[in-house]
């Protein structure tokens, strides 16, 4: 496919950006991106980067997927946008296909634009259904920047903007690597941590606990998967308080974490009261969803739940989401993510055995995290080291969100498109290996003199 910005004047674009663009929290990437195709992104200077975070964790089946492109072209020409109370074939088709993939108890869907918007809608629905207003999040979470979503997240962005929404509380975020809650043998005691968290919330609540919102893998919180069984135990605690559970699967759903929906990893019986989707559902096109039970949907209809936005149930993005689900199921990409995820984890753990700055490797499917430290025994966060390794990776041709925000505690986030091929996965791992090798402070655990064609000789 032709590069429509092949002759872009990068110097002029940089000047225009500096003079006209408002910054919004992250430093702009130093190069101008002029093309994205498959699993690669390209800069104005011609530098090619293997995209290991799928854009903004969104391009699940690759940039410029030809089937998605065709859907966009057809709907842009024939059915792009209508009044939000009007029904169209792609919206109905997406709702039918999506609810055929969710378990019973997730029966009705509606479609919005962004993850923050879907979480805002889910929180609003939970408050309406329970007639309560207190919302509980995890202490390392990201759900969006609208009022309700921001009030329920604790990763960043809470200070400097005046009061947050009232009635928000935080549970300790599960962190098997760093939590102070330990069994006598040193293993992670997340059950005690969860109960302790609720004991604090009970002391603060005014008796109006409506819902808990959480991610199955805490992405912005450091790529921490919830411990197996966590959601089931959370359900017990919520039932005691007549609370709903909202599971935010912006990044983890549609096969990313090795199952169609990441909450399914917890147990065969756990089903959230409300599921939110975004990012991966639209493959980079603004599309999100909330899915809930017939019981909650019937209540909302009978009692007059109200939520209007300009792009609610828009046909063009719905058609894209429908095609994404079709491709994921047709091409067995959930199993592919599971299988290649094992290869990814094995490769990252091999790196951990070779470089002492890798304190922890975690994740599921094609969603992984590497925590960088300067001292393994003390688990000292390696924030600056992570930045330098990330910069070296970028120069070598691998792009991932590696040590770029200090609130990540020096954690590399990895989430390539699940259409990635084995050779592309190996290519990324080779680049990572070289970046660690060439970055001062990576604490190699092998004898460089003994390195040869057969690999490296490990230090004894």
Catalytic residues: 142, 215, 248, 251, 279, 413
Q: What ranges make up the beta strands (E) of 54-165?
A: 108-112, 134-138
105 exposure class (CB count in 10 Å sphere: 0-12, 13-18, 19+): middle
- Tell me the C-alpha distance between 304 and 306, whole Å: 6
- Tell me the C-alpha distance between 146 and 143, whole Å: 9
- Tell me the C-alpha distance between 85 and 273, whole Å: 25
- Tell me the C-alpha distance between 74 and 385, whole Å: 47
75 exposure class (CB count in 10 Å sphere: 0-12, 13-18, 19+): buried
Which residue intervals of 166-263 are DSSP H helices?
A: 190-204, 230-240
Secondary structure, 3-state, 381-449:
ECHHHHHHHHHHHHHHCEECEECCCHHHCCEEEECCCCCCCHHHHHHHHHHHHHHHHHCCCCCECEEEE
Contacts of 355 (CB under 8 A, 6+ apart): 436, 442, 443, 444, 445
Asked whether the beta carbons of 231 and 267 are under 8 A apart, the reply is: yes
Asked whether the beta carbons of 258 and 337 are under 8 A apart, the reply is: yes
- Tell me the C-alpha distance between 429 and 434, whole Å: 9
Length of the chain measured in residues? 460
**Strands 401-402, 108-112: parallel, antiparallel or unpaired by DSSP?**
unpaired
Which helix (H) or strand (E) covers residue 228, if one does? none
Asked whether the beta carbons of 211 and 245 are under 8 A apart, the reply is: yes
């Amino acid at each position: 496919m032709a590069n429509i910005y092949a002759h872009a004047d990068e110097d002029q674009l940089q000047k225009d950006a500096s003079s006209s663009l408002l910054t919004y929290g992250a430093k702009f990437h130093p190069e101008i991106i002029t093309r994205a195709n498959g699993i690669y992104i390209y800069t104005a200077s011609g530098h090619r980067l293997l995209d290991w975070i799928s854009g903004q964790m969104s391009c699940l089946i690759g940039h410029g997927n030809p089937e998605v492109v065709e859907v966009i072209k057809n709907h842009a020409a024939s059915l792009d946008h209508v009044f939000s109370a009007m029904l169209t074939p792609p919206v109905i088709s997406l709702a039918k296909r999506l609810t055929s993939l969710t378990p019973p108890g997730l029966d009705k869907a509606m479609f919005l634009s962004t993850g923050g918007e879907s979480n805002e809608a889910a929180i609003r629905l939970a408050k309406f259904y329970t007639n309560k207003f207190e919302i509980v999040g995890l202490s390392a979470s990201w759900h969006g920047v609208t009022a309700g979503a921001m009030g329920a997240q604790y990763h960043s962005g809470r200070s400097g903007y005046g009061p947050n929404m009232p009635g928000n509380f935080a549970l300790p975020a599960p962190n098997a690597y760093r939590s102070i809650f330990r069994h006598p043998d040193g293993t992670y005691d997340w059950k005690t941590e969860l109960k302790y968290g609720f004991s604090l919330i009970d002391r603060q609540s005014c008796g109006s606990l409506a819902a808990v919102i959480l991610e199955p893998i805490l992405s912005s919180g450091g790529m921490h998967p919830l411990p197996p069984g966590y959601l089931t135990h959370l359900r017990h605690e919520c039932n005691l308080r007549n609370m709903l559970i909202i599971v935010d699967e912006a990044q983890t759903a549609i096969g990313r974490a090795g199952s169609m929906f990441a909450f399914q990893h917890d147990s065969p019986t756990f089903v959230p009261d409300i599921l939110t989707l975004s990012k991966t559902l639209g493959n980079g096109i603004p599309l999100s969803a909330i899915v809930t039970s017939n019981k909650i949907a019937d209540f909302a209809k009978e009692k007059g739940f109200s939520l209007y936005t300009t792009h609610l149930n828009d046909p063009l993005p719905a058609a894209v989401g429908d095609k994404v689900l079709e491709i994921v199921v047709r091409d067995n990409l959930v199993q592919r993510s599971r299988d290649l995820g094992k290869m990814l984890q094995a490769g990252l753990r091999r790196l951990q055995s070779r470089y002492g700055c890798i304190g922890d490797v975690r994740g599921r499917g094609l969603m992984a995290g590497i925590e960088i430290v300067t001292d393994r025994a003390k688990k000292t966060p390696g924030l600056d080291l992570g930045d330098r390794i990330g910069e070296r990776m970028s120069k070598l041709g691998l792009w991932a969100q590696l040590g770029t925000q200090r609130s990540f505690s020096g954690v590399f986030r990895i989430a390539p498109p699940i259409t990635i091929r084995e050779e592309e996965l190996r290519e990324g791992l080779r680049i990572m290996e070289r970046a660690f090798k060439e970055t001062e402070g990576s604490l190699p655990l092998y004898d460089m003199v003994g390195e040869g064609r057969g690999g490296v000789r490990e230090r004894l």
